[in-house]
Structure 1
Amino acid sequence: MFKAHQSNKAAAINPLKMSQPLGGALALLGIDSCLPCFHGSQGCTAFGLVLMVRHFREAIPLQTTAMDQVQTILGGYDNLEAAVLTMYERNKPEVIGVCSTGLTETKGEDMRGALTIFRKKHPEVAEKCNLVFINTPDFTGGIEDGFANTVTAVIDAMVEPASVKVSNRVNVLAGSHLTPGDVEEIRDLIEGFGLTPVILPDLSTSLGGRQPDDFTATTLGGVTAAEIKGMGAAVLTLAIGEHMRKPAEALELKTGVPFKLFDRLVGLEAVDAFITTLSGLSDRPVPARVRRQREHLVDGMLDGHFYFSRKRVAVALEPDLLYAYCGFLQEMGCEVTAAVAPTQSAILEKIRAWSLLVGDHEDFETLSRGADLVVSNSHARMSVSRSGAPLVRAGFPTFDRLGAGHRVVVGYRGTRDLLFEIGNIFLANDHEHSIQDWGLEGTTEGHHGGSHAKA
């Protein structure tokens, strides 16, 4: 069994880890008419807000309880109560989600107790608005943990058991590693079999890019409160990503709806398993459109496998996305020389790499020396510029490229596009090295084509 080693440095340098509250806010942004709020200082909220705005390039409705040093010491419930009342009175959201931060967690804030007190003091608000308070300490875990904890809290607070099941309804617990574009692709595949998916959270309709006619202070789009409450009527839950196991188990315990976990949807074999499940669940054959997409992927794999073979790749991403990329690259014949995750996770045990480490971008820079390709988020751009290896940007945050939220790497189409993106980088570098090896720099393509240089 492969085991990830923990970096033993006293401090993280150029951190790879994103905090739990950020993951919690991301999950809440996939719920319609919701107001996410950080229970902490204004700085905690501002930092997370900037990261999400730069990544998604959308307006992000993120509130704060604006704690200061005095209130932190004496107790922050008054700030929390005032913030929730203000948010409800001004905007009338259907859901208010409050995530704790390092400041309030260090003080020892009891979020469950605070919710109980608020409901007793303000039953008129609790009856009309769904309140979800979540412990998301940012000094432990990461974005996947905060995301999973928040989805679990939403299920515990809002989902209602159902005595009657809807035969064509399925729940989808979409992990934090999926982009809005990925979620939209998953929805298309499920609907292609005549099934109706309820996706929690649904970032495809809230952060996929919309221009509303009128400004709204709450989230616009996403899974509705009514849909969440009705998740108990589904016949199956599809959990995407290992960190969605916890909310899937919570949903099964509360409603009796069984779940099936897919640790990745990138790669031919992984997508085949997903499509087979959908076909069996719906009792329908695979649509011709999806069959064509599979043929295109297989053809692309045949065309590109030569350029992937024996290439050395280093990957630094959140655990579930790290596993998805490493698995796909190895299936294409690459050697993963370094795999770095920001936090521990059960999925890391499945990753096969020369070096597997829980660390930061400084560790990653050291381990990735000599790699033909580097895969990480935009925070890796400086270290990569020193090594000279090409960088494929993936994960959160990606703030120096357009379209991060629309990128699709899941399903047959997404895998095919990822294959071409990476394969073209390998192809271009092979051509450049061949030209240099033959001493043909400065010649024109018309006189010395790529085929002559490689002969």
Structure 2
Amino acid sequence: MAKLTHPKRALSTMPLKSSAPLGAALAYLGIDRAIPLFHGSQGCTAFAMVHLVRHFKEAVPLQTTAMNEVSTILGGADQIEEAIENLRKKSAPEFIGIASTALTETRGEDVPGDLRLILQRREDFADTKVVYASTPDFDGALQDGWAKAVEAIVSDLVPRVTERDVDLRQVTLLAGAHLTPGDIDELTRLIRSFGLEPLVLPDISGSLDGHVSDDWSGATQGGTPVARIPEAARSAFTLAIGESMRKAAQIIEDRAMVPYRVFQSVTGLKPVDALVRTLMALSGVADPPPSVKRDRARLVDAALDAHFHTGGVRVAIGADPDLLFSLSTALSSMGAEIVAAVTTSQHSPLFDRMPCDEVVLGDLGDLRRGSEAGAAQILLTHSHGRHLSEALHLPLMRVGFPIFDRIGAQDVCRVGYRGSRAFLYEFANIMQAQHHRATPEDFGAAPIPEEFDHVPHIARH
């Protein structure tokens, strides 16, 4: 059981977290024919755009209401209406997802009330779904913004029902912010192998998977169709991946009486076994498909092969809570020791179950201090950790968002039997590649006299 600590400092020198509005925008990008809209200044949007484009290496249709000095004082309702009108004329989106920023939240605008009046007055907006999520920059991180956006989507678009009209072969998959397009692809493949049809929300595996489209569009191409979102009310079950998706699953249950289960992790043997047992129960089969059993056997073999390079390894990790928990527990189950854990948000109950003594709500500076104190052997965090890796002379395994100094981040998969196997191999290979220089002291012998120190040491690897 870990305790959450928040060091009190005057400034953050090496930021770890990305903002909540960026997380909301990323969730909105998982809807087909969608445009995320930041209600704030142009600078807020430009900053998020840079992160998204550098990570996915794709054009991102992110827009802004472009608040200025006058609208900041008098209110931004006119900017919202004008932005919706312009986006409809230029790009004809089926969905516009609005995310607030610190500017409008600090002013205290009643955006839901303004938006309700706009949609009532402008009947010509009726064919475009407009959803708003409150995501101030100063509260929470990327994961929190994503969660609030998903909650807003299901609150507005999943209908209330009094009688269940169930499609027994359909399940809703609520994807957490820590899942990559490759992760979602693997989970949908696993679900379909049991004869079930997943309704993924949000589905960035269709819109941000790195494909060349036949033509250009000012809105997303791929993702969850807007028309399918209300069908979540007909699903037999909701699979929520990540603790941050619990509230969204509860909203669907309250509105449509759809039972749910939250999987706090789907990385590692035991967590994936739990998911597979649930899928077996939903599909009514007593035995998993042969392909799934084969994948499990391969993961077990990978764990046997990798444990020589994971057991006793001292790990420092910095990530959003869901990803932090998922990867840390998987490595801990393989004998690794989490000596430093730094996270971005306090809005998670997972810290009580973290396999370490302390989780720091902080930045990469805290990760450095924890790494040095715990004599870490490897770092796990996003691309901004490369400076830390160079300073500490430690290998860096890039996880989370953003990853901008490598290509193919959208294809990385670390969930399910296949993804867990790839994760263990990746970690073990990084550790195996580290040069170890054995000295006589390692074997209990006396140190080499200084005058003979130029002689190559034995047992070099």
1:316 counterpart letter in structure 2? G
Per-residue displacement from partner, 1:39-63 (whole Å, max 9, x unpaired)?
Answer: 0111100000000000011110001
Aligned to 1:380: 385
Match of 1:168, SS state, is strand
Aligned to 2:242: 241
- 1:87-236 matched pairs, under 5 angstroms: 87-125=87-125, 127-161=126-160, 163-236=164-237
1:160 CA drift (Å)? 2.0
2:147 counterpart letter in structure 1? A
Aligned to 1:336: 338
- 1:360 aligned to which of 359, 363, 369: 363
Aligned to 2:412: 407
Match of 2:178, SS state, is coil
Aligned to 2:351: 348
For residues 416 and 441 of structure 1, the distance between their equivalents in structure 2, rounded to whole angstroms, comes to: 42
Aligned to 1:10: 10
Match of 2:419, SS state, is helix
Aligned to 1:393: 398
Structure 1 runs not aligned, ≥5 long? none
1:153 counterpart letter in structure 2? A
Q: Is the 8 A contact 1:319 1:347 kept in 2?
A: yes
For residues 123 and 63 of structure 1, the distance between their equivalents in structure 2, rounded to whole angstroms, comes to: 22
Per-residue displacement from partner, 1:306-345 (whole Å, max 9, x unpaired)?
Answer: 2211111000000000001110110000110011001112
1:354 CA drift (Å)? 4.0
Match of 1:11, SS state, is coil
For residues 20 and 442 of structure 1, the distance between their equivalents in structure 2, rounded to whole angstroms, comes to: 56
For residues 441 and 208 of structure 1, the distance between their equivalents in structure 2, rounded to whole angstroms, comes to: 53
Per-residue displacement from partner, 1:30-86 (whole Å, max 9, x unpaired)?
Answer: 000111100011110000000000001111000110111221011111111100111
- 1:207-356 matched pairs, under 5 angstroms: 207-284=208-285, 285-344=287-346, 345-356=348-359
Aligned to 1:28: 28
For residues 356 and 297 of structure 2, the distance between their equivalents in structure 1, rounded to whole angstroms, comes to: 29
**Which portions of structure 1, spanning 4 or more consecutive aligned residues, are displaced by more than 6 angstroms?**
435-443
| Deviates further, 82-91 or 58-67 | 82-91
Q: Is the 8 A contact 2:3 2:357 kept in 1?
A: no
For residues 90 and 207 of structure 1, the distance between their equivalents in structure 2, rounded to whole angstroms, comes to: 21
Per-residue displacement from partner, 1:367-419 (whole Å, max 9, x unpaired)?
Answer: 11221111001111112211001000000001001111110000111111110
For residues 158 and 124 of structure 1, the distance between their equivalents in structure 2, rounded to whole angstroms, comes to: 19
For residues 84 and 180 of structure 1, the distance between their equivalents in structure 2, rounded to whole angstroms, comes to: 28
Aligned to 1:64: 64
Q: Is the 8 A contact 2:2 2:358 kept in 1?
A: no
For residues 396 and 343 of structure 2, the distance between their equivalents in structure 1, rounded to whole angstroms, comes to: 17
1:309 counterpart letter in structure 2? G
- 1:433 aligned to which of 434, 437, 458: 437
TM-score (norm 1): 0.95
Aligned to 2:49: 49
1:209 CA drift (Å)? 1.1
For residues 454 and 325 of structure 2, the distance between their equivalents in structure 1, rounded to whole angstroms, comes to: 39
1:226 CA drift (Å)? 1.3
Match of 1:205, SS state, is helix
1:13 CA drift (Å)? 1.6
Match of 1:215, SS state, is coil
Q: Is the 8 A contact 1:161 1:233 kept in 2?
A: no
For residues 454 and 326 of structure 2, the distance between their equivalents in structure 1, rounded to whole angstroms, comes to: 38
For residues 11 and 436 of structure 2, the distance between their equivalents in structure 1, rounded to whole angstroms, comes to: 39
1:54 counterpart letter in structure 2? R
1:435 CA drift (Å)? 8.4
| Deviates further, 10-19 or 374-383 | 10-19
For residues 184 and 145 of structure 1, the distance between their equivalents in structure 2, rounded to whole angstroms, comes to: 23
Match of 2:204, SS state, is coil
1:286 CA drift (Å)? 0.8
Structure 2 runs not aligned, ≥5 long? none
1:453 CA drift (Å)? 4.8
1:124 CA drift (Å)? 2.3
State the superposition RMSD in angstroms: 1.9
| Deviates further, 141-150 or 85-94 | 85-94
Q: Is the 8 A contact 1:355 1:367 kept in 2?
A: no
Q: Is the 8 A contact 1:4 1:357 kept in 2?
A: yes
Match of 1:167, SS state, is strand
For residues 141 and 298 of structure 1, the distance between their equivalents in structure 2, rounded to whole angstroms, comes to: 37
For residues 66 and 85 of structure 2, the distance between their equivalents in structure 1, rounded to whole angstroms, comes to: 14
| Deviates further, 155-164 or 392-401 | 155-164
For residues 442 and 381 of structure 1, the distance between their equivalents in structure 2, rounded to whole angstroms, comes to: 34
Aligned to 1:82: 82
2:436 counterpart letter in structure 1? E
2:134 counterpart letter in structure 1? N
For residues 111 and 255 of structure 2, the distance between their equivalents in structure 1, rounded to whole angstroms, comes to: 21
Pick closer, same or farther for the CA change 1:385–1:132 going to 2, 3 Å.
same
Q: Is the 8 A contact 1:132 1:153 kept in 2?
A: yes
TM-score (norm 2): 0.93
